[in-house]
Amino acid sequence: MVERFWDPTPVTADEADYFRRMTIAQFGNQELSWNGENIPDHKPAYYSIIPSLSGEVWLTRFGPASPADCALTPEEMVDELRRGDPLAFQMPECLSGVKSFDVFDSSGRFLGSVEDLPHFAKPFISGDTVVASAQDEAGTIMVKRYRLVLPGER
C-alpha cells in the first residue's frame, strides 16, 4: 500500500472542452449536444502505475494542461481513426502539460517526485536508470536513457 497526501489538479475549461468535443465526436453524431457536466473538476491522483525492475513503484501524475498546436480538431482525429488502421494512426498531443512521477519503494514508502521527463513513454526502470522510447517532432522514434541524479549530486 502506498500513501501520500496530494493537492488535486483542476481540470481547466480548455481541457474540459477538448474532452467534451472528443466524446461527442466518438458518438459520430454532430447533432448530439452535451455540455460536459459529468467531466470531473479535478484530475485523478494518479494516472498509471509503472513497476521498476528494482522494486520501486512509479505513479504517473498529470499537472495542469493547456491546448497545444494541433493539426487536427477532435472531430478530425476521430474521423481519421475511423477511416484507417487505428493502430497506425497516432493520436497527436493536443494538450500540453506537466507530467511527473511519484516514486515509492517496495514497502510503499514515498521516496520523492521526478518532474517532467521529456517525451517519456513506455519506460523500463531499474535503480537510477530509466530507459524509454521517445519520438521527436519529425516522428523519429528513439530509445533514450536517463540517469536519475539527486539535487547537488553530479
Q: What is the pLDDT of residues 68-118, one digit of tens each?
A: 667 677 777 777 777 765 554 455 566 666 678 888 988 888 888 887 665
Cβ atoms < 10 Å from Cβ of 14: 13
When divided into structural domains, the chain yields a total of 1
Report if residue 152 sits inside a domain: no
Report if residue 23 sits inside a domain: yes
List, in order, residues 6 or more apart from 56 with CB less than 8 Å away: 103, 104, 105, 106, 111, 125
* Span 39-66, average pLDDT: 83
Percent of the chain whose predicted confidence (pLDDT) is above 90? 0
CA angle (31 as vertex; 26, 34 as ends), nearest 5: 70
What's residue 53's pLDDT?
A: 87
Report if residue 154 sits inside a domain: no
Report if residue 4 sits inside a domain: no
Is the pLDDT at 142 greater than 70? The verdict is: yes
* Span 30-34, average pLDDT: 71
What's residue 48's pLDDT?
A: 82
Report if residue 119 sits inside a domain: yes
Which domain range does residue 41 map to? 13-147
Per-chain mean pLDDT for the chain: 76
What's residue 116's pLDDT?
A: 63
Identify the band that residue 154 occupies on the pLDDT scale cut at 50, 70 and 90.
low
Q: Which amino acid is at 120?
A: F
Report if residue 122 sits inside a domain: yes
Report if residue 141 sits inside a domain: yes
Report if residue 69 sits inside a domain: yes
What's residue 88's pLDDT?
A: 47
